Amino acid sequence: MTSYQLDEEADKDKFLLFYLGKELYGVPLLGVKEVIEFREAKPVPNMVDYFDGVINLRGEIIGVMDLRRKLGIDPDDTKCQLIFQTQRGTLAATVDSVQSVASIPGAAIDREPNVESKIEQKYLIGVGNLNDRLITLLDFSQLLTDEQLDQVSDMVG
């Protein structure tokens, strides 16, 4: 399904859980560097519409992607930003709020869910079941193409 490989032998995988609207999502904790309060991004011309621009985080210029727009979810006002690492550098993703860090066993993740969603399958790790609650697990490494990551790297580099 994606390039993210779950370790079936491990007891549990840790995910950072966050909200976009009323829906709960998760991303692998290993890729997340930190969570910060929302910062207004400085716009950069000629970028895709879901890319807000750049922020300065302790001297590092970081590109900011609005995850709601990227995934086709209606906008909202409550926001924070997840700072995560890609193969080409650091990026920020704007989300509504962070809930917690949770361990979801590999056996509790359906990597080929048969559900109707606006979200493209290539962005999904799968759907996790945590205490009978379904959580859409995203693969941040798949949200931007190599070309888009290069464009962001060139912009902030």
Whether the pTM exceeds 0.85: the reply is no
Q: Does the pLDDT of residue 13 top 50, yes or no?
A: yes
Looking up tokens 């969603």 gives 117
pLDDT classification of 157: cutoffs 50, 70, 90: low
Specify whether the CB–CB gap between 26 and 133 falls below 8 A: no
115 pLDDT higher than 90: no
Q: What single string gives the DSSP state of each residue in the chain?
A: --S----TTSS-EEEEEEEETTEEEEEEGGGEEEEEE--PPBP-TT--TTEEEEEEETTEEEEEEEHHHHHT----S--EEEEEEETTEEEEEEESEEEEEEEE-GGGEESS-----SS-GGGEEEEEEETTEEEEEE-GGGTS-HHHHHHHHHHH-
pLDDT at residue number 82: 96
Residue 10 has pLDDT above 50, yes or no: no
pLDDT above 70 (res 12): no
- Among 1, 32, 7, 4, which Cα is nearest to 106's? 7
For domain 13-156, give its CATH number from 3.40.50.12160, 1.10.1740.10, 2.60.40.1220, 2.40.50.180: 2.40.50.180
- 109: pLDDT strictly greater than 50: yes
Q: What is the pLDDT of residue 3?
A: 44
Over 70: is that where the pLDDT of 152 sits?
no
Average pLDDT, the chain: 84
Task: Determine the pLDDT at residue 25.
Answer: 95
Give residue limits of the domains in the chain: 13-156
Residue 157 corresponds to which tokens in the numbers above?
């580099």
Selection from 78, 84, 102, 96 nearest residue 143 by Cα:
84
Q: How far apart are the first and last CA of the chain?
A: 31
**How far apart are the C-alpha atoms of 34 and 48, rounded to whole Å?**
24
Residue 135's pLDDT band (boundaries 50, 70, 90)?
A: very high
51-81 tens-digit pLDDT:
899 999 999 999 999 999 888 888 777 789 9
pLDDT-derived band at 128 (thresholds 50, 70, 90) equals: very high
Question: What is the rounded radius of gyration, in angstroms, for the C-alpha atoms of the chain?
Answer: 15
